[in-house]
A and B are shown apart, each in its own frame.
Chain A
Amino acid sequence: MPQAHNPPHPADHVKPSRSFQSKVPAAHVAHAAEQHTAATRTNPRACLTLCGGDHGCPLAGAEPSSPGTDSPVLCVRIVSLDYHMAPPLPGRIRLLLQPLPRSVRLDESSSLSNNIPQLDGSSDENQEVPQEDGKVQDCLVTHLLKVVELLWCSLPPPIKKRSDVNVDGHVKTSPDGAMPTEKEPSVSFMSRTGKNSHATTDKTGRESFSRSGEHDPLCDSVRV
């Protein structure tokens, strides 16, 4: 799990004034400062975006970049679609239990929530402030099937078993399945199967997929 890190001191967000003066004209410095001040009042995320921008060109950080035109495109079939509640972030729980050091002041620019890493280790430029403890985020988990129409390079090879995965065989898991911390799905769609026919086991364990055929009503149901 990603570890929560200490929130940065407010002073860390302040850039040296000399950098501004030596890089851009005074008028641009004032304009950037106004944008920064306005962003701080209305949207702390914009503040974080500015601080993480190119220090040599502060104006570039004032506006979030849009996706490029040559983005890869996936052509996929949605094999399964599940809506469920994601578990709360462990780091947040730990943070709430620890007293804050005296040097840390809680305000918009240094909110602890803004520094809790995402569970999957990634970030989104439109990332909102995480919800309060006790609330969880809804997530839509989709399994997509990609085929030769893919216009994107192939994915990295499968994850090999790590040497540190050493289960002694005595670990007891929750009897309610793989995701004991997750709640029951609120929306669950079952994918359709093809025509009923006798299937054979692929003993090699290779990845495989099959083509669609006659609709099978046994596995076609939607529960809302």
Chain B
Amino acid sequence: AGYMMDAQIPGRHVSQFKPLLKEDAVYYIKYFEVAEARPQYRPIDRMVMAKFTAHTTVREDTEAPSTFPSHAYKVLSFDELRGRAYRKDILSDAIGIMTAIGPVQTVSCGGVMKAVLNVHITNGSETAVVALWGAHATQFHAENLQQQPDHGPVVILFVGLTVKFRDDQLALQGSTVCRWYPNAPI
């Protein structure tokens, strides 16, 4: 417990920290505020989160050990995912063997046209569909992943999903903070 944390930088401070932070880097962070976790769509199941303020300091650690963890997730089984169906308070992580990838389609959502791509994953006995929306649909490298099964199964870890059903089948929706890791060393 305590190995993952959600953090937020208010809009008025984004310009201060945006040049300093980058994904996949290691930092020392000091003088942050411990705030109540967001009420909806929490990426991590914690009651608190870190919140940057004007006093927060950030220093990059360029000599972090190679053993420093690089992924944050809490994999749930398909049965556990069912227990989170239609919940809006928390996002979920799922893993499975990729079995199919649909084409990028454009659908109308509330009068707005959006791109969507469906990825089918299985846990060996059941199949779930992961829908990636918007920019994620076009960022998903479907061509490369479709060729990899010829050299072995492709196991994909998806983080930041919401859960619902479609015809009694798990339908996982990618959120704006969704990430995916093909054959991650977990």
A contact residues vs B (CB 8 Å cutoff): 1, 66-67, 71-84, 86, 119-122, 124-126, 128, 136-147, 150, 154-159, 161, 165, 167, 169, 171, 173-179, 182, 184-185, 188-199, 201-203, 205-213, 216, 218-219, 221, 223
Contact = CB atoms under 8 A, between A and B. Distances in A.
Given A74-B30, A74-B32, A126-B12, 4 more contacts: A122-B51, A139-B9, A169-B86, A212-B68
A75 B26 contact: yes
B6 to A, nearest CB: 6
B120 to A, nearest CB: 16
Contact of B177 (A86, A128, A141, A201): A141
B74 to A, nearest CB: 5
B38 A196 contact: no
A137 B12 contact: yes
Interface residues of B, number: 111
Interface of B: 1-14, 17-18, 21-33, 35-39, 41-55, 61, 64, 66-77, 80, 83, 85-91, 95-96, 107, 109-110, 114, 123, 131, 133-135, 139, 141, 144-145, 152-153, 155, 157, 159-162, 164-165, 173-186
Given A120-B35, A179-B41, A199-B183, A79 B23 contact: yes
B10 A221 contact: no
Given A120-B36, A139-B11, A201-B123, A190 B179 contact: yes
A198 B155 contact: yes
B75 A124 contact: no
B179 A201 contact: no
Given A75-B61, A177-B174, A193 B2 contact: no
When A and B form their complex, which 7 residue pairs have the shortest distance between CB atoms, in order from nearest?
A178-B175, A137-B11, A138-B11, A212-B70, A209-B69, A189-B23, A140-B9
B26 A77 contact: yes
